[in-house]
């Protein structure tokens, strides 16, 4: 798949995920076979103000590449400056513009999917970012529109192409739908028919078979997954194996999931330190242990861990049946019965 002058290998892309796709998560995804990763969405205002936390979020190393830095903002001039700084200081493989985030605190500042209500502003932002990025490809990630009554994805795709963007990623739901209901893959097909630039489909990819089905039904050039990878980097390996052989790998065992979670925790320690890493790791732990025996009892024990070493010890005890989780389970069942 080509994105301007950038060639992306076969496979699926890891979506930019706010609060999730930091360096440890990206490293695990690349090791598992992701074709491309993105940073979390980065505030253009934070970049031009040289905020330390913003710059920390933008940093990456060669083992995470190819990688895109995703920017958001509502001022075309600020976006242009931010893009120029991003290229000069970090030199990512591409810059992506977030026009899809449905979160209230983002759209309340006229960011993310809120910009889809003003197509003139949308075009100005893309033009500004392209100008600031220079030779670095610029892409956009969008929703179908602000709500179901106002689908604008085809118009936005045409605007993006005219303004110099090299690809459009479409999450096939409106902002109003959030993540509810089913993604409308037909909108991805319509977008592909409306533009000549690269189209990447996103929404409801949960299995390797879904990747093939989306490509066949929509004609999209690439596929992006987000939620399906949370606590499950294995999905990239499963998809790549299926695309190559047509055979399905078995789902990871409980022990394999725990070992992945422990590796993830160690990477969080390296990046953020013992205590901060442990606190940030909590949201991932809930995803990793989903479906485990006694998960509801295990979760608060893990969330109570104050260091990465504590997390590792809890998992070790769980594997060795040293946690009295099953007894807690039985007590809870007895209480419900009585």
For residues 63 and 150, give the distance between their C-alpha atoms in angstroms, rounded to a whole number: 41
d(CA 168, CA 184): 16
| Sheet of 94-99, strands arranged across | 13-14, 222-225, 198-202, 167-171, 138-143, 94-99, 67-72, 37-43
Is residue 187 within 8 A of residue 144, CB to CB? The reply is: yes
Given the residues 17, 101, 130, 261, the one annotated as active site: 101
Contacts 24+ apart (CB under 8 A), 297-306: 297/323, 297/325, 297/328, 297/329, 297/332, 298/323, 298/325, 305/278, 306/275, 306/278
Q: CB–CB of 88/48 below 8 Å?
A: no
The reply to whether 220 belongs to the active site is: no
Please identify every residue annotated as catalytic: 101
């Amino acid at each position: 798949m080509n994105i301007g002058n950038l060639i992306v290998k076969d496979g699926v892309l890891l979506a930019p995920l706010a609060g999730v796709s930091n360096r440890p998560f990206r490293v695990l995804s690349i090791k598992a076979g992701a074709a491309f990763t993105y940073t979390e969405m980065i505030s253009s205002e934070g970049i031009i103000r040289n905020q330390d936390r913003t710059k920390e979020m933008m940093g990456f190393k060669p083992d995470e590449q190819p990688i895109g830095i995703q920017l958001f903002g509502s001022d075309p001039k600020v976006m242009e400056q931010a893009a120029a700084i991003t290229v000069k200081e970090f030199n990512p493989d591409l810059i992506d513009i977030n026009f899809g985030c449905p979160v209230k605190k983002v759209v309340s500042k006229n960011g993310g999917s809120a910009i889809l209500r003003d197509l003139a502003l949308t075009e100005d932002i893309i033009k500004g970012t392209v100008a600031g990025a220079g030779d670095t490809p610029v892409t956009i990630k969008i929703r179908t529109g602000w709500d179901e009554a106002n689908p604008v994805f085809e118009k936005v795709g045409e605007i993006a192409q005219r303004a110099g963007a090299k690809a459009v990623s479409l999450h096939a739901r409106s902002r109003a739908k959030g993540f509810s209901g089913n993604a409308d893959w037909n909108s991805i097909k319509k977008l592909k028919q409306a533009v000549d630039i690269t189209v990447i489909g996103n929404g409801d990819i949960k299995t390797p078979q879904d990747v093939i089905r989306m490509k066949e039904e929509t004609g999209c050039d690439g596929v992006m997954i987000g939620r399906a990878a949370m606590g499950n980097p294995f999905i990239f390996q499963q998809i790549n194996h299926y695309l190559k052989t047509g055979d399905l790998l078995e789902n990871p065992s409980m022990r394999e999931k725990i070992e992945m979670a422990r590796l993830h925790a160690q990477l969080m320690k390296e990046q953020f330190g013992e205590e901060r890493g442990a606190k940030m790791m909590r949201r991932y732990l809930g995803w990793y242990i989903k479906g485990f025996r006694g998960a509801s009892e295990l979760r608060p024990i893990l969330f109570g861990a104050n260091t990465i070493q504590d997390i590792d010890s809890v998992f070790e005890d769980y594997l060795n049946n040293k946690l009295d989780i099953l007894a807690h389970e039985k007590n809870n069942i007895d209480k419900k019965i009585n």
